[in-house]
A and B are shown apart, each in its own frame.
Chain A
Amino acid sequence: MSLKTIFVAGMALTLASTFSAAAQEAKRIAFIPQIAGIPYYIAMREGAEKAAKDLGAEYVQQGPTSTNAADQLRIFDSFVNQGFDVIAISPLDEETLKPAIKRALDQGIVVLTSDADAPGSARQFYVAQALDQDLGYTLLDEAVERIGDSGKIAIVSDSPTIQSMQNWIAAVQERAEQKYPNIEIVSVDHTDGTAARAYAFASDAMTRNPDLKAVLGMASTTCPGIAQAVEAADAIGEVLSAGFCSPNTARGYIKSGAMPYSVLWNPADLGYLTVFVGNHLAMGNEITSDLEVPGLNRTIEVQTESKVIVLGTPSVFTIDNVDNFDF
């Protein structure tokens, strides 16, 4: 084989690959988290970027600097105007986004909700980390395993406008009513997203109920506050704190014993699945109940009726496995 043939063959290959790339143009996929800059969404971005690389798509992630629904809407509209093929969003407020989602769909953009849902909107699919119900049930089941099936529990959550957290609270309450009649949920309080307020609410709940057995945090933002409150009250072992907290946030408290466990999912996998589904739909494919995601080593559950794609069962982080995760 002469040098010339190799050169020609190489040219032909390059040309062919250029043509095939042009025929199947890279899809542009955007995701809007509830807030920028928290470890959770950074981990989600890592998974999403990996999927984009695997699939030859382009991925952009941009979120508001505070949990502000109007800012989210502004970012959403800007992605629409930039001509993205897929826009996925973790909505802060369904009502604010409804008309914008409708407009985007009318322009032929694939619109997904991911991480949190807007069930009343026209979104095509909701890519769910785990079912809200499973999460709430797991959180309470794990608590009962440690404190027994009777006693008082307080709940501390972030802003009441975040739908997914309201669902988790409802799931915890439902589980308590149906399975653990002697578990009493004494209060549900909402913070402004600062650790200081979570700390205050957890302290107040312990003061008000000297026999309180657990404080459950619904948001990652509440975790340091509630765990620190348990530590400051010298109540490790008497009062358990737990919640939906990222391993990095909970790690110190899991090790101190103030927060024996934390329930969540792997956000990197969620990011991967979101990009996969978006790309799949943008290519003109259908989502069927036997959807397979080659890059993810797990079984995906598709609920075709409610248009929900579920990543899987929640993960429980304890002292035994927390060091295997970094988000």
Chain B
Amino acid sequence: MENTLKKSVSRPITVGREGLLLITLIILCIVFASQSEFFLSSRNLTTVLRNSVDLSVICAGMTIIIILGGIDVSVGGILAVSAVMIGRAYQYGMPDIIVIPIGLLTGAALGYGNGLLIAKTRVPPIVATLGSMYIFTATLFIVIGGVWISGLPNSLSFLVLGSFAGIPSGVFVIAVVYGGSWTILRRTPWGQRVVAIGCDEKSAQLAGISVVRTKIQAYALLGLFAGVAALLYVARLRNVEVNIGTNIALEAIAATILGGANIRGGVGSLLGALLGVIFIKITQNGLVLIGVSSLWETVVIGGLLIAVLAIDAFETRRTS
């Protein structure tokens, strides 16, 4: 009796996280739309989409890492180093067919390094990636040598700025990345291993799962996504600046948690994370449009994050 009651109470709420976020998002949109006639214009929504593509891609990888019970605060650094490699490759006159693999491989290699460090040495991921973040940032400074890389070719800009059959190309990029990630996570044995490790690493190990290998692969995948994000960033802004990637790790973690991922691992939602990204980008955009100082956006996002975590903690206490 008690068991069934517990199920009937807790079940709809866990399912409802994406729904809850969607409702909050809709309310937010109504508020912004009522204050600014331009908010719902196709031009504005396209702009928001263009500004969301790189963060969305990183968030897909971050969701998998958080489900695994890990975290990566160095993704901004991976994005930065990949972007610098891409920029330099363009400067040496290399064609897209070579530049693209350079960007992707750089990201994947740095992610692989993170995974190796975390899985082999068992340093807590937040500390390990904090360390690598510093190294990546320094690498950026050393490679860039003080000269910003500007005026890069726009041959890949269509991936972010273009459109296909009237639909902005960013939609397709996000669909491919999220479709692929969902399939890997929910429809392959590898994805099941990720969830199992996130739920209980020891049991997963005892069940014969290669924890070390799965972790390394997951971090390499996130690195690969950061490399994709770097390509999209450079395609959109045709510029690599010293501050590139500054806040993207924190935004990615915030979006993933807003979207229902549990920071302790085991639980997470790709759809939720995507909604989290949209929430953050809509907030940034909407506040500007209705004329509220942009300084408030961090207050709104931070406040909501605390609210979400408080609800989570409350729920955990009630159900356990």
Contact = CB atoms under 8 A, between A and B. Distances in A.
Contacts of A41: 146
A182 interface: no
A224 B239 contact: yes
Query: Which of B36, B233, B246 has the largest count of A CB atoms less than 10 A from its CB?
Result: B246
A55 interface: no
Interface stretch (B204-212, B284-292, B305-313): B284-292
A192 B243 contact: yes
Contacts of B161: 232
A301 interface: no
A42 interface: yes
Nearest to B51: A200
Interface in B105-147: 137-138, 141, 144-147
A201 B285 CA distance: 8
A65 interface: yes
A181 interface: no
Interface stretch (A107-115, A246-254, A264-272, A287-295): A246-254
A228 B241 CA distance: 13
A195 B151 CA distance: 13
Contact of B244 (A187, A194, A208, A228): A194
Interface residues of B, number: 40
Interface in A200-231: 200-201, 203-205, 207-208, 210, 221, 224-225, 228
A196 B291 contact: no
Interface stretch (B1-9, B40-48, B174-182, B214-222): B40-48
A269 B169 CA distance: 47
B236 interface: yes
A208 B148 CA distance: 30
A190 B294 contact: yes
Interface residues of A, number: 36
A197 B76 CA distance: 14
Interface in A120-158: none
Query: Which of A192, A203, A221 has the largest count of B CB atoms less than 10 A from its CB?
Result: A203
Nearest to A326: B147
B54 A196 contact: yes
B38 interface: yes
A160 interface: yes
B161 to A, nearest CB: 6
B246 A208 contact: no
A78 interface: no
Nearest to A225: B237
B246 A192 contact: yes
A15 interface: no
A193 B241 CA distance: 9
A321 to B, nearest CB: 18
Contacts of A257: none
Nearest to A41: B146
B148 A248 contact: yes
Contact of A204 (B241, B246, B288): B288
B75 to A, nearest CB: 14
The 3 closest A-B pairs by CB, nearest first: A252-B151, A193-B243, A224-B239
30 contacts: A37-B141, A37-B145, A37-B146, A37-B242, A38-B148, A66-B243, A66-B246, A160-B295, A192-B243, A192-B246, A193-B243, A194-B241, A195-B241, A196-B233, A196-B237, A199-B236, A203-B50, A204-B44, A204-B288, A207-B38, A207-B289, A208-B289, A210-B38, A221-B243, A225-B239, A228-B236, A232-B161, A248-B150, A249-B148, A251-B151
Given A232-B236, A251-B150, 6 more contacts: A41-B146, A193-B246, A196-B236, A200-B47, A204-B47, A207-B43
